Structure formats: structure tokens, C-alpha cells
Amino acid sequence: MPADIVSPAVRSRMMAGIRGKNTKPELLLRSELHRLGFRFRLHRQDLPGRPDLVFPKRGAAIFVHGCFWHGHDCHLFRLPKSRTEFWKEKIAGNVARDQRQIAALKEAGWRVGIVWECAMKGRTRLPLNIVMSQCASWLVSSAQEMEIHGD
């Protein structure tokens, strides 16, 4: 049984086409938060990790993490069967970098939230109004951290 059904060149092109920002979950979250009256900046390059959404007046930053790329333990993450060691190292590196960047943001006085892809798509997704309610409640609170993931 072959490890991959497409050639390495095709797989490389497919992986290169995956976006790092402006993903569907991120666009949906941005649209709904804006509709609720929250104003934010996008991908601020002067902040560690370039958070997807930055709320300067609220001292808050939100990352919308893809479950595969950030190694989330859910049904959307499955280690590829080909080049397994490469992917283990790649994803472990992403997770370690995430931890460093979140720590740096907190040290700089920012509150940090993470919305996982599985909260917004897949079989464990939450109703959109629940995700938005949790985000909005966190933004107006003084809580330092927020993490939303699928059931």
C-alpha cells in the first residue's frame, strides 16, 4: 500500500498552498467579532507571533490555530504516514514556538486567547453563537487567557 497517493511534487505544491493567515475560520471569527462591535488590528508584526487579531484597547490578542499545524489533540490532527519523522519535528517545533510567543506576549502585558480550528469546523465544532459569546465575554473581562476548542 503506497504511503501517498500523489507525487512528491504535487504534495509539495498542495502543502505550499495552505494559508497561514486569512483562513476561513479566521475570516469567520473576524467578521462576527466586527459585527458585534469589536475593533481590532490584524497580524501585528511588532508583536511576538503576529497574532491574528489584536485588540489594543483591551490589551488582548487572539490566535486562530489550525489543529494540524499547531498539533492539537483532536480529530482534525493526524500525523501523515509519509515522512513521519519530518512531520513530528515540524509540528513539535511549531508547538514550541507557539509557547515561546505566547509567553513573550504575556510578559509584555497582553492577554492571550486561542480559538482552535476544531471549534469552528469538523464534527466537534461548536455553534457559532457559542464561540462568539465566549470570545466576546473574554474580551470584556479581565481574564488573562482563553482557549476555545471543539467538544
pLDDT value at position 148? 97
What's the mean pLDDT when you consider all of the chain?
A: 91
* Segments making up each domain of the chain, as ranges: 20-148
CB within 8 Å of 146: residues ≥ 6 apart:
62, 111, 112, 113, 114, 134, 135, 138
Taking the C-alpha atoms of residue 71 and residue 84, their distance in angstroms, rounded to an integer, is 14
Taking the C-alpha atoms of residue 106 and residue 36, their distance in angstroms, rounded to an integer, is 26
Q: CB–CB of 134/116 below 8 Å? A: no
pLDDT value at position 83? 83
Q: Which three cell numbers stand for residue 128?
A: 457559532
- pLDDT above 80 (res 17): no
Closest CA to 49 of 117, 126, 108, 6: 108
The pair phi, psi for residue 136, each rounded to 5°, is -65, -45
Facing residues of 147 across strands?
114
Task: Quick: pLDDT tens for 7-16.
Answer: 777 766 766 6
Cβ-count burial 6-36 (b if 16+ within 10 Å, e if not): eeeeeeeeeeeeeeeeebebbebbbebbeee
CB within 8 Å of 137: residues ≥ 6 apart:
none
Class level of CATH domain 20-148: alpha beta
Task: Quick: pLDDT tens for 58-78.
Answer: 999 999 999 999 999 999 999
Task: Quick: pLDDT tens for 85-107.
Answer: 999 999 999 999 999 999 999 99
pLDDT value at position 6? 67
- Rg of the chain over Cα atoms, rounded to whole angstroms, equals 17
Which region among 17-31, 53-67, 103-117 has the lowest average model confidence (pLDDT)? 17-31
- pLDDT above 50 (res 1): no
- pLDDT above 70 (res 131): yes
